[in-house]
């Protein structure tokens, strides 16, 4: 392909939003732009609050780079009808993508490369024999089928979010050198202030469910109740209903004063809570393969940037994370293992930020550009 100058980021995500995925997309765009790429973002106006006003997007995500952004009409059920959402998501995703790819190809100048997290976008762009990179986040039978078809296009490439995704990929013989294993990263520009740590303060950030399954944060609460120590736990990102449910677990004088719940906060406010804590928690449900094998949680990279000591449930996906040798692991839902890990973590040192360049979003953007240019 040679050196690339222009990139269309075509996604089925909605903006502005507080999700980790939307933050990841805008952060990647920020650093692709800072590395000299002319980026245009296309996304569906599928939610009531969807908005393609660039100034609002820049303010929401605290970015100061210039890129182009186009919201595309979304006259399909998902986002408007709130029952049978998985079915409506699949149908709407397919129909919107098919129509939008045709619209973009016909209306806009062809970029050097397309970039997407959507398997349907990857498929429809590949059918047109266009240069496209697909960022592969989780396995599904449908996704595997669409990728198999898409890779018939010799200009199609894949970024696997971790090594397990690559190892379990069924079509490696069709890949050749058209792939990169590239975990998530972190925007160090948002972590420039000096961290002032509150000893024994633990933080968990993110949704408390995944795929409608509990992330087992209740295990952490119950364990701290049993320990009856002076640890303080901050839970950032819970919904109001989740907070009501979890508060029932903390309804005793020995623990309720030591646990603080926060609804979803802005990214900047969330980072402030990371910077003040001593320990970050990685915990997830054991009931799906994504949690066990494939996840590359953005919160982990932000924990590192905030100079947190990290305590994690012992899942293979967490073992595959960069710098995992500095994580203190405990066995899933095992109180004794959790207690011992919490005692052990105080002997661990923070990783100095200067050693973390490989997980910077700037480094990640350079690797994306290298793959696109190969």
Global pTM?
A: 0.91
Upper half-sphere CA count for residue 23 (Cβ side, 13 Å): 21
Are the CB atoms for 7 and 38 separated by under 8 Å? yes
Closest to 258 (Cα-Cα) out of 198, 216, 341:
198
| pLDDT score at 251 | 61
| pLDDT score at 213 | 65
| pLDDT score at 309 | 95
Phi-psi group of 99: left, alpha or beta (phi > 0 → left; psi -120 to 50 → alpha; rest → beta): alpha
Token pair in block for residue 320: 């595959």
CA 43 to chain centre: 17
Closest to 339 (Cα-Cα) out of 231, 202, 224:
224
Q: Which structural domains are found in the chain, ordered by start?
A: 6-186+359-373 (3.40.50.2000), 188-352 (3.40.50.2000)
Helix H or strand E encompassing 10: strand 6-10
| pLDDT score at 221 | 87
Token pair in block for residue 8: 């269309």
Token pair in block for residue 133: 């990179």
**Which residues, including other chains, have CB under 8 Å from residue 38's CB and lie 6 or more apart?**
5, 6, 7, 67, 68
**Which residues of the chain, if any, have pLDDT below 70?**
1-2, 77-84, 209-213, 249-256
């Amino acid at each position: 392909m040679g050196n690339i100058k222009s990139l269309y980021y075509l996604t089925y995500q909605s903006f502005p939003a507080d999700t980790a995925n939307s933050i990841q997309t805008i952060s990647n765009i920020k650093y692709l732009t800072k590395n000299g790429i002319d980026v245009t973002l296309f996304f569906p106006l599928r939610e009531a609050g969807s908005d393609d006003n660039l100034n609002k997007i820049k303010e929401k995500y605290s970015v100061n780079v210039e890129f182009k952004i186009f919201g595309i009409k979304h006259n399909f059920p998902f986002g408007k009808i709130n029952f049978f959402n998985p079915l409506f998501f699949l149908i709407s995703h397919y129909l919107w993508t098919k129509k939008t790819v045709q619209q973009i190809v016909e209306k806009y100048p062809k970029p050097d490369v397309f970039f997407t997290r959507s398997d349907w976008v990857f498929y429809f762009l590949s059918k047109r024999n266009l240069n496209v990179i697909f960022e592969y986040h989780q396995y599904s039978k449908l996704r595997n089928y669409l990728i198999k078809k898409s890779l018939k296009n010799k200009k199609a490439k894949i970024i696997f979010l971790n090594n397990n995704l690559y190892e379990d990929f069924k079509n490696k013989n069709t890949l050749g050198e058209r792939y990169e294993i590239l975990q998530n990263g972190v925007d160090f520009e948002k972590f420039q202030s000096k961290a002032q740590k509150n000893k024994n303060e633990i933080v968990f950030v993110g949704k408390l469910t995944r795929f409608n399954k509990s992330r087992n944060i209740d295990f952490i609460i119950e364990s701290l109740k049993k320990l009856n120590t002076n640890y303080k736990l901050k839970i950032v990102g819970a919904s109001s209903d989740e907070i009501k449910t979890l508060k029932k677990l903390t309804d005793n004088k020995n623990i309720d004063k030591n646990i603080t719940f926060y609804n979803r906060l802005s990214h900047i406010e969330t980072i402030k809570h990371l910077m003040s804590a001593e320990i970050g928690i990685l915990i997830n449900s054991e009931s799906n393969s994504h949690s066990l094998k494939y996840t590359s949680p953005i919160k982990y990279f932000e924990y590192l940037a905030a100079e947190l000591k990290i305590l994690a449930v012992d899942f293979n996906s967490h073992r595959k994370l960069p710098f995992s040798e500095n994580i203190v692991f405990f066995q899933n839902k095992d109180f004794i293992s959790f207690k011992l890990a919490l005692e052990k973590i105080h002997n661990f040192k923070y990783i100095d930020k200067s050693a973390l360049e490989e997980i910077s979003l700037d480094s990640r953007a350079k690797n994306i550009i290298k793959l696109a240019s190969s």
